[in-house]
Structure 1
Amino acid sequence: MTTNNALSCMMHIIEEIKPSHVLVASSQIEEILKDAKAQCVIQALPASKMLDLQLNSDDVKNVDLVVLGENLNQLEHAKMIEVIGVLRNHLNAKMLILCNEASTLSFSDMLSLGFKREEQDESGLMLYSYDIASYNKKREWNNSRFWANPENFNKYRW
């Protein structure tokens, strides 16, 4: 059996993050984390809760990382996008999404949600990640020096 590059990349990212509480929407990934003896609390997110978006604040307290997998594929495309957006916006956690070629999520869907592709292996398994800290890169022009351009007042007519 060959190891999947996307799975090993996912485990490497999890080791780097060292989360204390992980919310997992995948029975396969949950088993992988348990087999790897991850030093964190692993909480399952069943597809039924994702359908109704029933996330009690007690259920998702102190979540450091959200890992979505095959449970996401049980939803319609629009619902997938909604669930990913709600989890990303409400938990403000780092997110990893592992999907295969059968998933209806496209590369442009993931980019529009702020994710970046970390790995894609030969089997078609893709790993996407989201981190609010690295989501918006600092740009040279995005500062107060360039906002108003006071040196151009009364020089040009717009």
Structure 2
Amino acid sequence: MPDQDIIALLLQLLAEEKQIDQAIAIDIQPQSNWDGQWQYCSLNDVASLPFDQRYDLAIVNLIKQQAFEKKHEKLEITNTIIDNAVVRMRDLFAKKIIVFASLERTKQLRALGFNQLSEIVPDDSPVQIWQFNILTYKHVPDWFNSKFWANPENWDKFRW
């Protein structure tokens, strides 16, 4: 798991971007030096989490889940749980999501619309940091404006 100092630095950078008032940590215990109100939840409990508020930030630790997979050999069931939890966080609970994952999750997270922020290479195994921000998920294309669509002022001038 990434060092807590790296997580604190990442949170500080995100807080400079926009203040974090309410956040949720999944399989990472919130530290006392993290600003805002933090709620803790395990990855398995996300499916039963009631939708009563939207958080500014969600931090998800998938490294802990990978260690569980190696011990119990339940890869398909675990992938379904992870997909459901991450999608539920992305769609319902958080405006911005930070995910700590191993290299094996690259295709899975990219398919869910996440962007890779960085890669940390500790002694034992590399950890990738991914983000999903609904505000920067899809840039509006240049052609998607009224200039290129049906303009009422041109209806009598041109024939399509």
TM-score by length of 1: 0.72
Local SS of the residue matching 1:18: coil
Aligned length: 140
Local SS of the residue matching 1:23: strand
Question: Are residues 83 and 47 of structure 1, via their aligned partners in 2, closer, same or farther at CA, if it must alter by over 3 Å?
Answer: closer
1:125 is matched with which residue? 127
Q: What amino acid maps onto 1:55 in structure 2?
A: L
Instruction: State the Cα distance separating 1:55 from its structure 2 match.
Output: 1.4
Give % identity: 14
**Structure 2 unpaired stretches of 5+:** 69-76
Question: Are residues 97 and 152 of structure 1, via their aligned partners in 2, closer, same or farther at CA, if it must alter by over 3 Å?
Answer: farther
1:23 is matched with which residue? 24
Question: Are residues 87 and 152 of structure 1, via their aligned partners in 2, closer, same or farther at CA, if it must alter by over 3 Å?
Answer: farther
TM-score by length of 2: 0.71
Question: Are residues 9 and 120 of structure 1, via their aligned partners in 2, closer, same or farther at CA, if it must alter by over 3 Å?
Answer: farther
Is the 8 Å Cα contact of residues 25 and 46 (structure 1) preserved in structure 2?
yes
1:143 is matched with which residue? 145
1:87 is matched with which residue? 89
Question: Are residues 12 and 85 of structure 1, via their aligned partners in 2, closer, same or farther at CA, if it must alter by over 3 Å?
Answer: same
Larger RCO (alpha carbons 8 Å, 6+ apart): 1
Judging by fraction of residues, say which structure has more strand. 2
Question: Are residues 143 and 132 of structure 1, via their aligned partners in 2, closer, same or farther at CA, if it must alter by over 3 Å?
Answer: same
**Structure 1 unpaired stretches of 5+:** none
1:64 is matched with which residue? 56
The separation in 1 between residues aligned to 2:64 and 2:158, in whole angstroms, is 55
Instruction: State the Cα distance separating 1:57 from its structure 2 match.
Output: 2.9
Q: Deviations over 1:23-67 (max 9, x none)?
A: 10123xx25x32xx12211110123313xx011134xx2411110
Instruction: State the Cα distance separating 1:153 from its structure 2 match.
Output: 4.9
The separation in 1 between residues aligned to 2:101 and 2:43, in whole angstroms, is 15
Is the 8 Å Cα contact of residues 23 and 37 (structure 2) preserved in structure 1?
yes
Q: Deviations over 1:80-107 (max 9, x none)?
A: 1121111111124210001134xx422x
